[in-house]
Structure 1
Amino acid sequence: MTEAPELPLQMRRARFDPTDELSRARDSEGVTRVMTPFGIPAYLVSRYEDVREVFSDAGRFSNARRPSTLPDVPRFTEEEQAELRAGQMLAYDPPDHTRLRRMLTPEFTVRRMRRLEPRIVEIVDDALDELARTGAPADLVADFALPVPSLVICELLGVPYADRTEFQHRTSRLLDVSLPIEERMALQRESREYMAGLVARARATPGEDMLGMLVREHGDDLTSSELAGIASLLLLAGHETTSNMLGLGTLALLRHPDQLAMVRDDPDRVEPAVEELLRWLSIVHSGMPRTTTTEVEIAGHTIPEGEQVILALPAANRDPALVERPEELDITRGAPRHVAFGHGVHHCLGAPLARMEMRIAFPALLRRFPDLALAVPYEDVGFRAYHVVYGLHTLPVTW
């Protein structure tokens, strides 16, 4: 059996918390030399204000540029790289990024998301009805946290929900850094081939979903590869992030019963609770690496041109510069300036949708099952340590 690789510093957690080593890196140097899972040397930026600075400056910290040092591993051909990069907004800088994002922004406004609210309420209630019907114990990840956002994003995009098991399994393995890079490359090819088939179908018969809208309104401006890239990113982000927030967030509330009661019983507490959970959990460890386009200085450290920069979001969101008592979960404060959704031009496009799903799902779950409790000892709950998006493998619960 192959031994799992050592976790990169930015991914190291002690269950809910960044490790002491990661916190020390923030509180001492602020910038630390690390090695990425792909064997690229990088600079890890971990203080809140410095992380915001990197997020804010796409000119000096590029998402599109590749670092000077590349790993000696099997790579895609130039043609494959261009194909896989097409439409992937996180791999673009302005103005290319701006062109794509402008087409999508109208679909993710708060006003547009509110139109989806009745359907999301229905999806949540249906999932809770099924939980109640099958009875306790249950796995809250498989039976609630994953299916709810998966169905929402499938309906929004126009992806057949019947394909969910296939794409969820593929995505989960694609984001697992413990797997060999060759296997993850193969999964990336499979994912793109699947989405290319959906794009071809949408071009032939555009539906009322987002993929159909993009074909009708921007089909002449977007290549099929770009459409596949956009849809792949939205599908991955739309179910992986929110589902892990719902699972991990529920466990966090179960560990803080007084705060769970506030979320369950007081509607005014729900939105601040969502923001604090986003800050405290920081399920995205680092987001996309950046590459310096010139020599820069961060936290007193000089970083040469062409170097990769990685952001430690869990450390930044636990920085005392952001909130007082950052290690404590306190849903009453809201933490509105957190960087869990990023910042700047790449701020998460789907943030309004994710917030709404959590705002609906958390109180609905806790009201339906007021006696919700862990069905196993807390120490036996398995955290997804090697995944790019942090979360839980399972969450056994009873009521």
Structure 2
Amino acid sequence: MTDTLTCPVGGAGESLPLYPMEREAGCPLAPAPAAQQLRSENPISRVRIWNGATPWLITRHADQRTLLTDSRVSDDDLDPGFPYVNAHRAQIAPVSPRMITNTDAPEHTRLRRTVNGPFVVKRIEKMREPIQKIVDGLIDDMLDGPNPVDLLKAFALPLPSLVIAQLLGVPYKDHDFFQTSSSTVLDGSVPPEEARRVSGALAAYLDDLLGEKLTSPGDDILSEMAGRVTAGEMSRTEAVHMGVAMLIAGHETTATMISLGTLALLQHPDQLALVRESDDPKLIANAVDEVLRYLSIVQTGVRRVAKEDIEIGGTVIKAGDGIIFDLHAANWDPEAFSESQHLDVTRPARQHQAFGYGPHQCLGQNLARLELQVVYSTLYRRIPTMRLAADLADLEFDHVGTTYGVHSLPISW
């Protein structure tokens, strides 16, 4: 069992450490030690990124909340000071359409309004029963199949793919294409030309599908966006690229949270027992938010740029300076969460920032929470003897993608 109490919090080393920072090999679920040290000693400090730029790194929970709601902090990736995640993002920014992921108000407000409806709590809650059926069916298939099994391949990836395909109106028969494409786009080690080619293929696929919805709409999100295109509320290009973003974000992150969350619970059997044996929806919902806090899987940070000078904590962030928010370090901030190094599914953890914060907070967070609630309330109850079928030290973690996870999670029962 991983003992989070022994995980170091030091080691920032250089005056300008490289970001993202390396995790401690023996504590793969904890934030990078250097990020934790900066949070304690220098919570608003410069770091170095892949292209030599030196944006500010924000590691305290309270500072992140202050800045992520400050209108002077911008999501405009056309600003020369924007701290791009990788070379691919830097190259495509000038030719990328304006979306909710790279605009500020009022354009961001307009675009967000066009897609917000399907993701409000009341509409997402109607998906609980269909998601439950998908979860039960996938578990049935696992129990009837080989033992041990890779939970990521057999369960964690197919579930959100089925759900987002149903919501968007994308044929599930094409799931191999969009799963592989999404992984490629999010992989920071992939050459920019290849990532650009795959992004283009995804956009072409969604454009063809949107064309079908324009003439034969159904009961799905793409059809809703097609209706807004017809009404002149958004362009066809905006709708296509919004669909691509949803397709990528709608399954990659949730699949990671299912597999990595299961690993975290297996490493904390007392907490797993509380989840497995509970029939209280409030405890399950709380457990989901605590696991989200504990893992905070976005490992490249939330990226922004200052449009004006901003003074915070005695430091002045100048106009044009890049800013990175390390969500994992903030979610382990002891000033925000006592004994934050512990996984405690009874903790009131809803104030975490795993989905970001402010006007650009994750659009799909209600859907992600619902999927994880159904998984956490079902998977461990139906497979009560589940255990890791490999040594923790032998698991291969993804250190280069946008999200931090495992490449496979062998389990047995």
Q: Same fold (TM over 0.5)?
A: yes
Map 1:63-142 to 2 at 5 A.
63-69=75-81, 81=93, 84-86=96-98, 88-142=99-153
The corresponding residue for 1:262 is: 274
The corresponding residue for 1:216 is: 227
Which string of whole-angstrom CA distances, capped at 9 and with x for unpartnered residues, describes residues 15-36 of structure 1? 1011211111111111222233
1:245 equivalenced with 2:261 (yes/no): no
Say if 1:113 and 1:74 are closer, same or farther in 2 by CA, change over 3 A: closer
The corresponding residue for 1:232 is: 244
Deviation at 1:69, TM superposition (A): 4.7
Q: 2:318 aligns with which of 279, 292, 304?
A: 304
Whole-angstrom distance in 2 between the partners of 1:263 and 1:353? 20
User: Which shifted more, 153-162 or 284-293?
Assistant: 284-293
Give the TM-score of the pair, scaled to structure 2. Answer: 0.89
Query: Where do 5+ consecutive residues of structure 1 fail to align?
Result: 1-6
Contact 2:303 2:323 in 1 (8 A): yes
Whole-angstrom distance in 1 between the partners of 2:152 and 2:185? 19
The corresponding residue for 1:395 is: 409
Contact 1:296 1:303 in 2 (8 A): yes
Deviation at 1:217, TM superposition (A): 4.3
The corresponding residue for 2:380 is: 366
SS of the residue corresponding to residue 306 of structure 1 reads coil
Deviation at 1:38, TM superposition (A): 4.7
SS of the residue corresponding to residue 101 of structure 2 reads helix
1:33 equivalenced with 2:46 (yes/no): yes
Which string of whole-angstrom CA distances, capped at 9 and with x for unpartnered residues, describes residues 281-321 of structure 1? 00113554111101112332222111111110010000111
SS of the residue corresponding to residue 289 of structure 1 reads strand
Whole-angstrom distance in 2 between the partners of 1:55 and 1:267? 36
Say if 1:267 and 1:99 are closer, same or farther in 2 by CA, change over 3 A: same
Deviation at 1:74, TM superposition (A): 8.2
SS of the residue corresponding to residue 371 of structure 1 reads coil
Map 1:243-392 to 2 at 5 A.
243-268=255-280, 269-392=283-406
1:17 equivalenced with 2:27 (yes/no): no
Q: 2:179 aligns with which of 158, 168, 178?
A: 168
Deviation at 1:391, TM superposition (A): 1.1
Deviation at 1:107, TM superposition (A): 1.2
Contact 1:62 1:291 in 2 (8 A): yes
Contact 1:56 1:344 in 2 (8 A): yes
Which string of whole-angstrom CA distances, capped at 9 and with x for unpartnered residues, describes residues 215-243 of structure 1? 12453221110001111111111101111
Deviation at 1:13, TM superposition (A): 2.6
Contact 1:286 1:313 in 2 (8 A): no
Whole-angstrom distance in 2 between the partners of 1:234 and 1:395? 25
The corresponding residue for 2:69 is: 56
User: Which shifted more, 63-72 or 329-338?
Assistant: 63-72
SS of the residue corresponding to residue 90 of structure 1 reads coil
Percent of aligned pairs sharing the same letter = 37
Say if 1:35 and 1:192 are closer, same or farther in 2 by CA, change over 3 A: farther
Say if 1:76 and 1:176 are closer, same or farther in 2 by CA, change over 3 A: closer
Contact 1:41 1:69 in 2 (8 A): no
SS of the residue corresponding to residue 302 of structure 1 reads strand
The corresponding residue for 1:3 is: none
User: Which shifted more, 333-342 or 34-43?
Assistant: 34-43
SS of the residue corresponding to residue 386 of structure 1 reads coil
Say if 1:52 and 1:286 are closer, same or farther in 2 by CA, change over 3 A: farther
Contact 1:272 1:334 in 2 (8 A): yes
The corresponding residue for 2:12 is: none
Contact 1:10 1:22 in 2 (8 A): no
Contact 1:25 1:32 in 2 (8 A): yes
The corresponding residue for 2:161 is: 150
Whole-angstrom distance in 1 between the partners of 2:308 and 2:90? 27
Which string of whole-angstrom CA distances, capped at 9 and with x for unpartnered residues, describes residues 164-195 of structure 1? 11111121121111223333233322322222
Higher relative contact order, structure no. (Cα contacts within 8 Å, ≥ 6 residues apart): 1
Root-mean-square deviation over aligned CA pairs: 2.1
Query: What letter matches 2:250 in structure 1?
Result: G
Q: Count how many residue pairs are aligned between Structure 1 and Structure 2.
A: 389
Give the TM-score of the pair, scaled to structure 1. Answer: 0.92
SS of the residue corresponding to residue 32 of structure 1 reads strand
SS of the residue corresponding to residue 24 of structure 1 reads helix
SS of the residue corresponding to residue 357 of structure 1 reads helix
Whole-angstrom distance in 1 between the partners of 2:387 and 2:397? 18
Say if 1:81 and 1:253 are closer, same or farther in 2 by CA, change over 3 A: closer
Contact 2:169 2:220 in 1 (8 A): yes
Query: What letter matches 2:270 in structure 1?
Result: D
Contact 1:196 1:228 in 2 (8 A): yes
Contact 1:149 1:238 in 2 (8 A): yes
Contact 1:26 1:47 in 2 (8 A): yes
Say if 1:76 and 1:345 are closer, same or farther in 2 by CA, change over 3 A: closer
User: Which shifted more, 124-133 or 182-191?
Assistant: 182-191
